[in-house]
Amino acid sequence: MIDIKFLRENPDVVRENIKKKFQDSKLPLVDEVIALDKEYRENKTQADNLRASRNKVSKQIGMFMAQGKKDEAEEAKKIVAQQAQELADCEAKEAELSEKIKKIMMIIPNIIDPSVPVGKDDSENVEVQKYGEPVTPDFEVPYHTDIMERFCGIDLDSARRVAGNGFYYLMGDIARLHSAVISYARDFMIDRGFTYVVPPFMIRADVVTGVISFAEMEAMMYKIEGEDLYLIGTSEHSMIGKFIDQMIPEEQLPLTLTSYSPCFRKEKGAHGIEERGVYRIHQFEKQEMVVVCKPEESPKWFDVLWQNTVDLFRSLDIPVRTLECCSGDLADLKVKSVDVEAWSPRQQKYFEVGSCSNLGDAQARRLSIRVKGKEKYLAHTLNNTVVAPPRMLIAFLENNLNADGSVNIPVALRPYMGGAEKIVPKN
């Protein structure tokens, strides 16, 4: 959410930003919110004048009473009563206008960074750099669930009977590999100076609307019926929510946190839920990284965060590339975003395994996350995926698969797999 003062003073900049995000239907909102803001400020001025006048007349009542001027005192009381009603009307209107302005401002997209390429959707995202040499083995790489089934490592049929499509049972070596990757990612981030956190897995509505847009909320979040609680779609939600209505001493910044959580997502949209795969699912686990910092430091931390993900995947012998998200692919709160994609030997292409985002002060403005230095100001917030199995397992299994069906365990992961150098299929 952008600053109303910025919109008031720079309406053309806001309109141009909306056009860059190919959301022209939102252009009328700029004029609408400017008109409401003008009315709000006029109403507020009227309310302030009424308060000043009421206070002045109230003092006169005491003076008239002390002088025995009862008639004048009664007339003054009538004026105070009338002004009190007018003030109550102004305050009610002020609250109504404030709510209307807030709803519109929550819809208008954040101002994107000048470096963001302009494009309509993810097909126009721009490759930045590749890390590691993509390998095409001289044998056929099976579909990822076929690989897992050779290890007796997945049961989708039972999960479908229990919960429907988009769920899974992981078992044996595959389940252990899943947990090993999460544990390794946790320690990887701790070694890089991040504080490990296990957050709440449910959050209230005011936190939800503080961390994501209404469109994302509707497409992603599961609501707990009868309660003001939502299941988190990523631990970033509760991690940023941790600082709601907080005044953080400047000397404590930056706050660098890495969090584990299960994640729950509706996954509404064109892609749908696969019956056979675990690429797009309703439930998964993830290790996340979150930074709360000074505004001038957020570009630096943005680069640190996506580089952490690249380094982790390379330590597991998985080639990756970074992709700059274009304007039309950015969620409304994001200033800038880079996706990390892993190489798929089976598909002969890269696919997304993580997304790094700088949200500027958008989340901080919505949640009132402020910093106390020489002056008070809004913090900047950033987040990035460290690793999110089982999607990450697709890349891991394909890139470490041998012709005999066994899967190599990279050196970095072996302590979490009981020292095993490889796992061998059961079938």
Q: How is residue 415 written in tokens?
A: 């302590």
Other C-beta atoms lying within 10 Å of the C-beta of residue 242: 19
C-alpha of 330 from chain center: 11
Domain parsing of the chain, residue ranges: 4-107, 122-423
H or E segment to which residue 339 belongs: strand 336-344
Per-residue pLDDT at 360: 97
Residues in the chain: 427
- CA-based torsion, 282, 288, 294, 296: positive or negative: negative
Q: What is the pLDDT of residues 172-214, one digit of tens each?
A: 999 999 999 999 999 999 999 999 999 999 999 999 999 988 7
Q: What is the pLDDT of residues 269-322, one digit of tens each?
A: 545 565 678 888 999 999 999 999 999 999 999 999 999 999 999 999 999 999
Q: How is residue 142 written in tokens?
A: 């099976």
Residue 163 φ/ψ region, left for φ over 0, alpha for ψ in the -120 to 50 degree band, beta for the rest:
alpha
- CA-based torsion, 305, 307, 310, 312: positive or negative: negative
C-alpha of 69 from chain center: 65
Using omega within 30 degrees of 0 as the cis cutoff, is the peptide bond preceding 390 cis? yes
427 residues of the chain, pLDDT tens digit each: 899 999 999 999 999 999 999 999 999 999 999 999 999 999 999 988 888 887 787 778 777 777 788 788 778 788 878 888 888 989 999 999 999 999 999 999 999 999 999 999 999 999 999 999 999 999 999 999 999 999 999 999 999 999 999 899 999 999 999 999 999 999 999 999 999 999 999 999 999 999 988 778 888 899 999 999 999 999 999 999 999 999 999 999 999 999 999 999 997 654 556 567 888 899 999 999 999 999 999 999 999 999 999 999 999 999 999 999 999 999 999 999 999 999 999 999 999 999 999 999 999 999 999 999 999 999 999 999 999 988 899 999 999 999 999 999 999 999 999 999 999 998 8
Q: Which CATH class is domain 122-423?
A: alpha beta
The residues facing 358 across adjacent strands are 336, 382
Q: Regarding the domain with residue range 4-107, which homologous superfamily does it belong to in the CATH classification?
A: Serine-tRNA synthetase, tRNA binding domain (1.10.287.40)
How distant, in Å, are the alpha carbons of 180, 375, 406, 414 from that of 424? 16, 60, 5, 14
